[in-house]
Amino acid sequence: MILEIYPIAFTIPDWHSFIKVCQDTLNFSPTRGLDEAGLDPKSLASYLACLDLRNQPLESLRQGILNPCLKHVSFSFLCVVDRDMIPEFNFLNLTTSYFTKNRKHLLLVTGTMEQWLIAIARGCQSSSDFGIREICNRFFVIFKAAGFRDLWQGYDEQDNYDGTIILKRIRG
């Protein structure tokens, strides 16, 4: 099984314009809460965290799927996979294209943070097929490293017997 995942594109804000327009129009900086929450303004998650203009970045991220700003941030990945894995990626319900070269395929996988949040939460369930769970685990690790861990605040991360991670919804 071939599975290589490379982040290639993500939403990059024009911070200068974003901050200036908010200060000029609303008389406050939309990024003020980042410092107070101890979030790195250079983190990929920072833009999403302050996009709702409430200056409560952790609360914003922890809204999960209820955050309407998720639709305004997107990520693209190049994935090198075995031809047999292509149906696994269809589960993600994201824009995909593939090009054949022997048994290797190059997939371009793109989606909004809303789509990624839903796909990863569904794909990291114990009832999911192992291949889907493994793929979603890899994306989950990438998003956590990029600062988006709080998006899955409503889930408990558990090790599965097969070496994958399961996300169990926390009731509350």
pLDDT at 103: 78
Can you give the residue range of the structural domain that contains 59?
A: 1-172
Pairing of strands 3-10, 104-112: unpaired
Number of structural domains (the chain) is 1
pLDDT classification of 172: cutoffs 50, 70, 90: low
Percent of the chain scored above 90 by pLDDT?
A: 72
**Comparing C-alpha atoms, which of 54, 82, 86 is closest to residue 67?**
54
The model's pLDDT over 8-18, given as tens digits with 9 standing for 90+, comes to: 999 999 999 99
